[in-house]
Chains A and B, each alone.
Chain A
Amino acid sequence: MAYEIVVVGASTGGLRALRVLLSGLPAEFFLPMVIVQHRGKHMETGLCEFLAHSSRLPVGEPEDKEPVLPGHAYLAPRDYHLLIQSRSFALSTESPVGFARPSIDVLFESAADEYRKRAIGVILTGANHDGARGLAAIKAQGGLTLVEDPVTAVCREMPDAAINLTRVDWILPLQEMAAGLYRLSINPGQYES
């Protein structure tokens, strides 16, 4: 059972965490990785370039109806929800969910619907509860759920919330997340419980 996508949610402390995660992935990592990082309304530019700098995968902010391509990392644009529909991105400006736009739950729930058990969801550091419901949706569809070990997280609320709501498959220290994802991408059976 091969995975087709990795969705990642991060909030407070996420910049550093995402940099660790992306820089740990080899250039031949072929799953698309779609990232929601919460950011303030006025923190407009630079995040994409910042992440691209430490990533061997190309990093971009998708436009509406852009196809989801293997071997690419995508960052949800500021002030839009990012969803996936028919293997393409769909953007939306509907109301923030739990004060967040982009919302991790919105991305994860659409990925769960679209990819079913072929989705991997990853929750990293954050000081709120976004992503917990979305990760539960991925689990309910038979997808794989990974959470950053709350002990290594800059803010443990988000990992804790995800772990409380779902019997997650793996709780990994941040430093091991990239290697774990890479192994899963080439050998999907590896972590099957």
Chain B
Amino acid sequence: MSTVATEVNDLEDIEISLLLDGLYRAYGFDFREYSRASIKRRILDLMHGENLATVSAFQDRVLHDAACLNRFLLGLSVHATAMFRDPSFYLTFRKKVVPLLRTYPTVQIWVAGCSTGEEVYSLAILLQEERLYGRCRIYATDISQAVLRKARDGIFPLAAMRDYTNNYHQAGGANEFSDYYTAQYDSVIFSSALKSNVVFSEHNLATDGSFNEFQVILCRNVMIYFNKDLQARVHHLLYDSLSMFGVFGLGNKESLKFTPRAAFYEHLNDKDKLYRKVM
């Protein structure tokens, strides 16, 4: 027979399944196919933050207390992001993808899971410097209204600019990075020209369908939080939304290798997670 600790653990797993089921059935938020190990950690952390001892007690509060529900939703997702995150990705984008994009009269781009927008502003800066921005339309989507609001504002902490400036230069940026924003107290606001061709909107990769055909799709550091089944479904969705020879970008530690669509893309270079749809 198992030890007591093992039983508590099994019980907790059951309670977590019930909580996620309840959340879905009551409010339509579907986290049932997120990677269990990390979502369990976050649920238990949030539960301790509410000073509750069991997931069942937490479920009671999440389902009945709107303020708690909001805290829960915000805490459940990982929103960490940065401008020019993994600079070599952007450098390769500049060198290998930009020349491809020059051959199109218009370029539709989808940034799926854009969080608070740092990635979108980085891309806009790069495209502007390459004199391509005018013909691009960027659809920036996320499941969370809260982060989309921040993304639309384009206001980021001043303290982050040192790292971002470094990243920008490593990513092949040749201008003064500070030309792109205005500092105010401890925040900066990015030039609104950068978002003139950006549409921010809510889209749930787990439940919503394709809404356009794109020449570029970036979905970086989003699917690492999904389990294999959901990840496979989303790979199909993104593949179906990408035009032939379109470019697909993943996060640095993500890989197409372990997904059902691997054979349909070719790598743009060995190092960065940039692929081209070839089938």
Contacts and interface: CB of A to CB of B under 8 A. Distances in A.
Interface of A: 61, 63-67, 77, 80-81, 83-86, 88, 90-95, 106, 109-110, 113-114, 116, 140-142
Interface residues of B, number: 27
Contacts of A93: 78, 80, 221, 224
Q: Is the interface of A mostly helix, strand, loop or mixed?
A: mixed
B228 A94 contact: no
A63 B253 contact: yes
A113 B227 CA distance: 16
B36 A85 contact: yes
Interface in B248-271: 251, 253-255, 257-259
B38 A64 contact: no
B9 A113 contact: yes
A139 B259 CA distance: 34
A106 B36 contact: no
- By CB atoms of chain A within 10 A, which of B41, B78, B227, B251 has the most? B41
B42 interface: yes
B258 A65 contact: yes
Interface string B36-55: 11101110000000000000
A91 B224 contact: yes
A109 B5 CA distance: 13
Contacts, number: 81
A91 B228 contact: no
B93 to A, nearest CB: 20
Interface in B2-52: 3, 5-6, 9, 35-38, 40-42
- By CB atoms of chain B within 10 A, which of A81, A92, A106 has the most? A92
Contact of B5 (A67, A88, A95, A140): A140
Contacts of B253: 61, 63-64, 77, 80, 91
Nearest to A140: B5
